[in-house]
Amino acid sequence: MGVAPTGFGKTVVMGSITQDFDAPTLGIAHRQELVSQIAMSFNREEIPHGVIAPKPVVQEIIKAEMELHGRSFYNPSAAVRVAGVDSLRGYDNERWLKQVRLLLMDEGHHTLRENKFGAAMARCPDALGLLLTAHALRADGKGLGRHADGVVDKLVVGPSARAIINDGYLTDYRIFCPPSDVDTSDIPVGENGELNMAMTRERIESSRTIVGDVVSHYKRIAEGELGITFAVSLKSAYQICDKFNDSRIPAKVIEAKTPIAERAHWMRLYRERKLIQLVNVDCLGEGTDVPACTVVSMARPSASFQLVAQQFGRMLRIMVADDLNRTWHTFARAQRLAYIAASTKPYGILIDHVGNIAIAGGVGRHGLPDRPRAYTLDRREKRAKNKDDAIPMTVCLNPGYSPPDWDKGVLDPAKACFQPYERVLSECPYCQFPKPPPRGRSTPEEVDGDLVELDPEVMRMLRGEIDRIDLAPKYPPNASHEIMGAIKKRHWERQQAQHSLRDAITTWAGWHTNHLGRPERETLKRFFFQFGIDMGTAQTLGVREANELETLVRAQLTQHNIVKVMQ
């Protein structure tokens, strides 16, 4: 299984590997857009290929190949073929299937041994398999490894989305999280790893603001830019679409039952800017390659990171002239970034109305979609139970005031911020609006590990426990020499474990404050979120817990090649 983010060019990789492999090959996808993309990648490499799909799909693919490449290499008897997984069920050429030596599976995270994707692969018993995906995980927690629920033997993880953005192969982005009257925090997550959809649809459809907010915030933030809106239901999709059209923003709903030719027609009008908004329900996420899309509006809450990341990726494709695109890899990184900055799409825009990324006054479900993630082929319950070390996001609540005196500033709602930022910061990095003070100060959790914010009495008790470890041990009255010896030994062992842990923490803190230039309070908060404990409480841990925490801290130092920070 190869892992690379949305926009990396996984179908291009498929075409290149197929050409190099030079043997009977079958590419499998689960939706017609993905089947078309694989066929187009084969056509780009001038590889003769058949298509196992309904006749209208085949005809549409041939037409698209002619329009894009000026020639179609479609050949129904070719050694290389691409198929929709459902179309493959009715394909009875067992002789050819047994000749296949290479299996390519797009969106490979769908593949389990016992589902239709695994059954499709089993029809080619002598083939090697390459499964490509943006994220090697499933919402239901099932393991993709052969030892678990899947078919994968080896996991190969490519560069992260952030690395590709920084290298100039995807655009950067801005995120806005406007306040909403929709609260889905109490909706349960089912065994499939997704929110209860009946309850979710009911909450969104009964909202008094969501439909109007999708349109009004699009107009405020990105009016005129091509957008894709993800709705929770067809009812909601058509309501949003009607609202766009009423606001003189040409929009169309694309749904799963939209005929192939009609869908292709709307997509062409979209690329020609005769349509400005495409509204859909879960059918323009995976495999929709529209570089001109600049704005993604999320009106569909989801507990699935995979789904949210796919939707997020729709607006990350770069938008530069064709002559530049053809030679993009020949430019230096700084040149690519300069071309993107000067293009008609210097960055993508995500408008999250439902708390998928962040939420005003609370915690979003997933945080930034392009942050590095650890992947495994194991089932979720077998994975390491380390706390998620992502820094939580908060949302700027500036309703449109301007600095420097926020309480005396001029209110301009058109300049409302509502952008997410890391919760460790004391003010919004985009507009400098101060973050509201914490509601309580009696536990480190209430202040995100910021010991300066803690209630003085709580801090006094914490310092007292630290001092108790550092001072000589206390013995009970009339204790025997044996008992005193055992107490002294345990106390010494705890002091040694704490001495080693504190050295690691000091190095870690010095790296952040002295080398990275972060304020001390921000460093305290980053430690809390990355290791799940504040620095004060860490200095009260027993031997085992102190040793475990030291291992985690030193592992991060090693990962970043930090040996010692000079004062």
The CA distance from 270 to 267, in Å, is: 5
Q: Domain count for the chain, please give it.
A: 3
Say yes or no: 56 and 19 in one domain.
yes
Say yes or no: 471 and 323 in one domain.
no
378 occurs within a structural domain: no
pLDDT of residue 286: 64
Give the domain-ending residue among 121, 142, 157. Answer: 157
- What CATH number is associated with residue 284? 3.40.50.300
509 occurs within a structural domain: yes
Tokens standing for 456? 């003085």
The answer, yes or no, to whether the previous bond of 301 is cis (omega within 30 of 0) is: no
Three-state DSSP at 99 gives helix
- What CATH number is associated with residue 15? 3.40.50.10810
Q: What's the Rg (C-alpha) of the chain?
A: 27
Backbone φ, ψ for residue 154 (5° rounding): -140, 135
Angle, alpha carbons 264-2-151 (nearest 5°): 100
192 occurs within a structural domain: yes
For residue range 226-269, what is the model confidence (pLDDT) as tens digits? 999 999 999 999 999 999 999 999 999 998 888 777 887 888 89
Q: Could you count the other beta carbons within 10 Å of the beta carbon of residue 119?
A: 15
Say yes or no: 175 and 288 in one domain.
yes
Tokens standing for 404? 């420097």
Tokens standing for 291? 């570089």
526 occurs within a structural domain: yes
Q: Which residue has the tokens 């789904």?
A: 307
Q: What is the C-alpha end-to-end distance of the chain, expressed in Å? A: 45
The CA distance from 366 to 370, in Å, is: 10
The CA distance from 353 to 347, in Å, is: 19
The CA distance from 168 to 341, in Å, is: 10
Say yes or no: 261 and 354 in one domain.
yes
Say yes or no: 82 and 38 in one domain.
yes
Q: Are 321 and 146 a contacting pair, CB within 8 Å?
A: no
Say yes or no: 192 and 141 in one domain.
no
Which segments of 197-300 are extended strands (E)?
227-231, 251-254, 277-280, 295-299
Q: Are 72 and 62 a contacting pair, CB within 8 Å?
A: yes
pLDDT of residue 386: 44
For residue range 432-487, what is the model confidence (pLDDT) as tens digits? 999 888 888 898 888 899 988 888 888 888 888 888 888 888 888 888 888 888 98
* Residues contacting 72, CB < 8 A, separation 6+: 43, 62, 65, 66
The CA distance from 108 to 151, in Å, is: 10
Element (H, E) at 81: strand 80-84
Say yes or no: 127 and 216 in one domain.
no
418 occurs within a structural domain: no
pTM of the shown model: 0.83
In the predicted model, residues of the chain with pLDDT beneath 70 are 285-289, 360-363, 382-389, 565-567
404 occurs within a structural domain: no
196 occurs within a structural domain: yes
Tokens standing for 460? 């006094």
Torsion from C-alpha of 291, 295, 296, 298, nearest 10 degrees: 180
Pairing of strands 393-395, 420-422: antiparallel
405 occurs within a structural domain: no
The CA distance from 88 to 474, in Å, is: 75
Backbone φ, ψ for residue 83 (5° rounding): -140, 145
The CA distance from 437 to 448, in Å, is: 11
Say yes or no: 103 and 171 in one domain.
no
Render the burial of 197-208: b for 16+ CB within 10 Å, e for the rest.
Answer: beebbebbeebe
Say yes or no: 470 and 495 in one domain.
yes
Helix axes 55-69, 260-271, angle to 10 degrees: 20
Ramachandran assignment for 7, one of left (phi > 0), alpha (psi -120 to 50 degrees), beta (any other): left
Pairing of strands 128-133, 102-105: parallel
* Residues contacting 140, CB < 8 A, separation 6+: 191, 192, 193
The CA distance from 294 to 279, in Å, is: 14
Nearest to 243 by CA among 299, 198, 181: 299
Nearest to 449 by CA among 392, 489, 373: 392
Domain ranges, residue 342: 163-373+387-395
Going by the DSSP 8-state scheme, the letter that residue 382 receives in this structure is G
Say yes or no: 78 and 93 in one domain.
yes
Say yes or no: 133 and 106 in one domain.
yes
Say yes or no: 131 and 186 in one domain.
no
The CA distance from 200 to 198, in Å, is: 5
